[in-house]
C-alpha cells in the first residue's frame, strides 16, 4: 500500500531525522555529520525525494525489498544531512536555515498535492490509496517545517535577548 509506504517515509524524514539531529548534543553531531552545506543538503534531499517518487522509480522500489530499502535509507540519510545542516546554519545564518525550511516544505507539499489531486493513479496503487498517501504528506510536512521554523526563530530570539537586542549575523546587513 502506497499510504503505508508514505507513512514510513514521513516518520523517518519528518520525525526521526529532525528529532535525532535536534536531540544529539552539538559536539557529538559534529563528529558524525557530513558537512556538505545547507544548499547541497537541501538540493540532495529534494532531488532524492522527487526522484524516488517518479513513477518508474516507485515501480522499481516495489519490485523487491532491496530497492525499497535503498529508497528508505537514502531518503532518511538525506533528511539527516538536511536537518543537520539546518540546525548547524541556524546559529550563524538563521535566514538561510529558514529559507531552506520554506523551500523544502513547499516542494514536499507540492508532491502531496500532486498525489491528492491527480485525476488518475500515478503508481501501481489504487487512486484512493495514492490520495491518502498525498494527504498524509499534506498533514505532516507543513507541520514539521513550521515547527522547525518556530524552534529556529525561538532560539534565534533567545540568543538576541541574551546578547542585548537584535543583531544581524556577519554579512547579513
Band (151; pLDDT cuts 50, 70, 90): confident
Dist. CA 29–CA 24, nearest whole Å: 6
pLDDT digits (tens, 9 = 90+) for 74-126: 999 999 999 999 988 888 888 999 999 999 999 999 999 999 999 999 998 89
Other beta carbons within 10 Å of 31: 9
Q: What is the pLDDT of residue 168?
A: 58
pLDDT digits (tens, 9 = 90+) for 124-138: 889 999 999 999 999
Tell me the average pLDDT of the chain.
87
Band (169; pLDDT cuts 50, 70, 90): low
Let me know the angle formed at the C-alpha of 123 by 100 and 101, rounded to the nearest 5 degrees: 5
Name, in order, each residue with C-beta under 8 angstroms of 152's C-beta and a sequence gap of 6 or more: 86, 87, 90, 94, 97, 98, 101
pTM of the predicted protein model:
0.84
Amino acid at each position: 500500500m502506497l499510504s503505508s509506504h508514505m507513512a514510513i517515509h514521513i516518520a523517518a524524514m519528518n520525525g526521526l531525522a529532525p528529532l535525532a539531529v535536534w536531540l544529539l548534543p552539538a559536539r557529538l553531531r559534529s563528529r558524525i555529520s557530513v558537512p556538505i552545506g545547507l544548499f547541497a543538503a537541501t538540493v540532495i534531499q529534494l532531488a532524492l525525494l522527487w526522484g524516488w517518487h517518479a513513477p518508474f522509480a516507485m515501480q522499481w522500489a516495489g519490485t523487491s525489498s532491496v530497492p525499497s530499502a535503498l529508497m528508505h535509507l537514502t531518503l532518511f540519510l538525506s533528511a539527516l544531512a538536511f536537518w543537520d545542516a539546518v540546525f548547524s546554519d541556524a546559529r550563524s545564518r538563521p535566514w538561510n536555515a529558514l529559507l531552506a525550511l520554506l523551500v523544502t516544505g513547499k516542494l514536499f507539499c507540492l508532491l502531496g498535492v500532486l498525489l491528492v489531486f491527480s485525476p488518475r493513479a500515478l503508481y501501481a496503487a489504487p487512486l484512493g490509496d495514492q490520495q491518502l498517501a498525498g494527504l498524509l504528506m499534506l498533514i505532516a510536512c507543513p507541520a514539521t517545517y513550521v515547527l522547525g521554523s518556530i524552534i529556529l526563530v525561538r532560539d534565534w530570539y533567545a540568543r538576541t535577548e541574551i546578547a542585548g537586542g537584535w543583531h544581524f549575523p556577519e554579512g547579513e546587513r
